[in-house]
Amino acid sequence: MLHHIAVQGTGLVGARVARELCDRRDVELVPLLSGSPERRMELAEALGPKIGNHAEDEFHTVVLCLPEAQQVAAARKWLSEGKHVVATAAGGRTVSSLLDLDTFAREHGVSVTVGAGMAPGLSTVLAHHAAALFDEVTTIHLASVGSSGPECLRDLESSIALDGRERKSGAWEPAPSKSGRELVWFAEPLGSVECQRGDLGDTQLVDRVVPGTTDLTVRVATQGTERTFRKKIPTRRRVEEQLGGLRVEVTGMAEGVSSSVVYGLIDRRSVASAALACFAAVEVPKSGALGAGGVTEWLAPVEVLRWLFSRGVKAAVFEAQP
The more confidently predicted of residues 270 and 228 is 270
Number of neighbours of residue 22 by Cβ within 10 angstroms: 18
For the stretch 174-201, pLDDT in tens is 999 988 899 999 988 899 999 999 999 9
Mean pLDDT lowest among 18-32, 70-84, 167-181, 239-253: 239-253
User: Helix crossing, 269-286 with 122-131: angle to 10°?
Assistant: 70
Please, are residues 99 and 279 in contact by the beta-carbon 8 Å criterion? no
Q: How far apart are CA 19 and CA 6, in angstroms?
A: 12
**What confidence tier does 233 reach under pLDDT thresholds 50, 70, 90?**
very low
Which pLDDT does position 231 carry in this prediction? 34
Tens of pLDDT, residue by residue over 36-86, are 889 999 999 999 999 976 556 789 999 999 999 999 999 999 999 999 999
| N residues, the chain | 322
Give the percent of the chain with pLDDT over 90: 79
Q: Determine the Cα–Cα distance for residues 127 and 125; give it in Å rounded to an integer.
A: 6
**Does residue 322 carry a pLDDT above 80?**
no
172's CB contacts (< 8 A; 6+ apart) are: 165, 166
Contact assessment for residue 155 and residue 67, using Cβ atoms and an 8 Å cutoff? yes
Question: Domains along the chain?
Answer: 3-117+272-302 (3.40.50.720), 122-269 (3.30.360.10)
Averaged pLDDT for residues 298-310: 96
